[in-house]
Amino acid sequence: MRYYTGQLAKYGATQRLGRYERIADEGLHITLNGESGTITADTVVLCTGQESERGLDEALAARGVGTLRIGGAATAVEHDALRAIDEGMRLAQSL
């Protein structure tokens, strides 16, 4: 896991452990350490949970927003965070 976080840091990515509230045109609205804020972004990658939950994907598709499923969202078979991180890295590099 440290390998991936080190690789991401080379590209300016940071990890923030908080609660995401919503995604809007201006970016990702979050609550971090009890304070609300917005992370300006044109692309948002969420790494959450271990069960395949496609509700957000389906809601975005209904609005014409394209999504890609990776990790447990695509196939939730076990706790396989490294596989999901690898898939996320490969997807990010392809964007």
- Summarised one tens digit per residue, pLDDT across range 58-78 is 888 899 998 888 877 777 666
Residue 38 pairs in a beta bridge with 29
Instruction: Please say whether the beta carbons of 15 and 30 come within 8 A.
Output: no
Q: Where along the chain do its domains lie?
A: 16-42, 46-95
**Of 31, 59, 74, the residue nearest 90 (C-alpha):** 74
**Of 37, 62, 27, 47, the residue nearest 92 (C-alpha):** 47
pLDDT reported for residue 67:
86
- Rounded to whole angstroms, the Cα distance separating 95 from 53 reads 23
pTM: 0.47
